[in-house]
Structure 1
Amino acid sequence: MVRLPLTPAEVERGQRLGALLRRARGERSMLDTALDAGVSPETLRKIECGRVATPAFPTIAAIADVLGLSLDEVWAEINRPDGEVGPTGSGRTARERLAS
């Protein structure tokens, strides 16, 4: 099976996802986070670096759960309009941004 190249939008969403997971992980080690989520540290590293722009849903759900992120927060962050400041830049959570 031949995989089609990713679109620029998919690459950007992958980069946003990786940045969100790195911020949410904070000082917690990548190894501990990956093991708690049931994924390999290499998989987590690739997702955080944006090298896996379209990871499987169960993988993201497991990582988000370990990091205390709701899937709504993840979805809102990776699909925010260009130029909109993310949760760490605005001081507001994704849920607060959606409610306003």
Structure 2
Amino acid sequence: MVSYRAVPAHDELHRDGESLVLHDGQVQRVSPLGTAIRALTLEALPLADLAAALAQEFGAPPGGDLVEVTREVADTLVDAGLLQRLGD
């Protein structure tokens, strides 16, 4: 089972749902969706639970599988160094 956990930032600034995250000497602008994912994953959270929480907050993605779309967005944050993927 795949879970995700936010990578601790050196500093974060939240405004209008978005955030600026200082991590490893870089400042990254994070969308409202990415900001919500980081907030939900302060503790490790399974992918299915993350998808359900995001659907409650943002609604289901149009024309896409909820869990798969969540995985794609979360993996983008993993690639940016802002989230960790745990498990297979």
Structure 2 length normalisation: TM-score?
0.34
Structure 1 length normalisation: TM-score?
0.32
Q: Which has the higher helix share?
A: 1
